[in-house]
Every structure is written in C-alpha cells, then in structure tokens.
Structure 1
C-alpha cells in the first residue's frame, strides 16, 4: 500500500516527534555510557532502543506512554547492569569480554589472532593507523572489549601498567 489515511500520517508525525523527544531525554538521563563505544550488552540495549522507537512510531497498537515506559525500562536496565558490573568483577566478566593481547614486542600472537578471528593484515593496519611503521617498535596491540584495537608503542609503554587487565600481558612482559 502506498497510502492509508491522513490520520495515520498525522499520528506518525505526532507520536514520532514525541517518541523522539522522549528517547533523547532518556539517553541524556541514562548517561554517557549508553552512547559510548559498545560492548555486547551496550549494543543489545542500543538495538532494543532503536527497535522500540520504531515500534512506537509505526505501530498504532502501541501508545506513546507504553513506548516511553519501554524506553525508560531499557535505559534503566542498562544503568543497573553498568552499576553492578562496575562493582562486581565476576558479573562484569559475564556481561563483557576481556581485552586480548594480539601482539607483544613486535611478535604476533597466532593463537590469539585465531581465537579472535583477526588476520595479521588487520593488526598491521592498526599499527600503521597509529603512526608506527615497524612492528618491532610496538610493545603491544590489544583487541579491546568494544572491538577497537589499541596500539602501544615501545616509547609509550612505561611500566606497562595500562596492560594490567589484559589477560596474558603479564606473562609476556620483559
């Protein structure tokens, strides 16, 4: 169908604008983490928020108030899980991934690359993007919990304390 009725379009405009404003308010109240780089839990919440917004806007079976409560619930759940995981390391382990050491002192770690389904070319690309031209000048490359790749050059390693929460990094320290 190309067109149902003017009242349906009016409902979409009115409820859509209201739902959009509600989502912006909910996101502002829920804090920066909801909008940060995403780990698996944050991604699920973000997708759920988008799906809920679409349902509020397009389904005449869902009242704006019901949708607003659903958006608030999702943001509240994200807040509770974030609060709990920041205080309970075991719960954090269940919700988020661990960072993975992919390269140490210029040496690619084949087992870690295989486990994380990353290629040597992807690691070299990250090293180049960081401004390094030689793997031997890189102290560590870490696949972070949000999927980004961090490159630590030898010149910036210092004590290596930034790698303290990277499993296996301590056993690779010189």
Structure 2
C-alpha cells in the first residue's frame, strides 16, 4: 500500500532538482528561441500557408520537449529550433525567388462564393460547407449574403469576406482560383 502512495507522490513531485532543471533549461531555451526568431525575422511565425502553421506548431512542440525532457540537452534542443527556423527561412526565401518552387509549396486561394452564388464545385474540392461560408459572413459583420461580393478560402485556411461591389476585373481576386465559365454555368 505504501508503494502506491510513493508512486503517486513521485508522479506529482519528482523533487526540487527537477523543478530547478525545468526553470533553468526553460529560461535558456526560451531566450534562445527569442534570439532565433529575432534574427530570422517576422515571416518565421506568420501563418500564410499550411507549411508556416506546421513550423509554428513544431517550434512550440520542440520548446516543450527541451523544457520537460531529461533526454534532450539544451544544445540539442536549440539546434532543433535553429534547424526548423532555418528550414522555414529557406523555404520562404526560395518561394520569393522562384515561382515554380512557390507553386509546389503553397496552395492557391479559392473562390467559394461569388456575387450571391455558392460555387459548389469549389466547395466540394476544398471540403467546405455553405454553413461555414455563412458563418464567415456573420463573423465579418455581413447581415445578408446579398451584400457579399465574394468569399475566398485563403492559403492559411481562413476565410476572407469581400463586401460591396467588385469591378469587372476584380483586382483583389487576381490570384484566386476561380471556376471556369463552363463550370460556373453548371453551378447556377
């Protein structure tokens, strides 16, 4: 019976040495991460696409592992953080310089709703429901779908709701994937 209580107390409190390690390593790892982020620039933590989101989550997971895992040394953990940030920086750098690389890494924004019409083919392809479009409209403050010109699923998974009238060439939608005219006629 005392073994059970000893195990439970060990699960709850491993000792002051363990807490001291977490404090010491946590401060070092956090300071290292802040330094790396400052050096690498604002783009490192942006969530402009799925790759950026994965890197942000991986940084948090790595920081956590450095702090709580006794098997991971501070130098190893900081190297892992530097590797993730370096890879993210490299992908962003290559994406800016080579359009073919950018197309391979990043998805295109997709038009899901246009001038009062749900684009059902695009909704199916992007796995979005009309209810989610209505929710995005409400969140943007649109009271009536008739007041919305377009809803775009952005590369980071967020919705952009464009209210008001758009001109014929729709400059804000120039890089957005739109259904072809034949598909558009089938939707209506």
- 1:105-124 CA-to-partner distances (Å, cap 9, x unmatched) read 11111111112121111112
- 1:21-170 correspondence to structure 2 within 5 Å: 21-155=31-165, 157-158=166-167, 159-168=169-178
Query: Residues of 2 paired with 1:139 and 1:2: CA distance?
Result: 56
Cα deviation, residue 170, structure 1 = 8.0
| Number of residue pairs matched by the alignment | 171
- 1:96-136 CA-to-partner distances (Å, cap 9, x unmatched) read 21111101111111111112121111112222332333323
- Rg: which structure is higher? 2
Cα deviation, residue 33, structure 1 = 1.9
Equivalent residues of 2:122, 2:179 under 8 A apart:
no
TM-score normalised by length of structure 1 = 0.88
Structure 2: 5+ residue stretches without partners: 1-10
Query: Residues of 1 paired with 2:32 and 2:60: CA distance?
Result: 12
Alpha carbon RMSD of aligned pairs, Å? 1.9
Query: Residues of 1 paired with 2:14 and 2:139: CA distance?
Result: 51
Counterpart of 1:18 (choices 6, 11, 28) is 28
Which secondary structure state, in structure 2, belongs to the residue aligned with residue 128 of structure 1?
helix
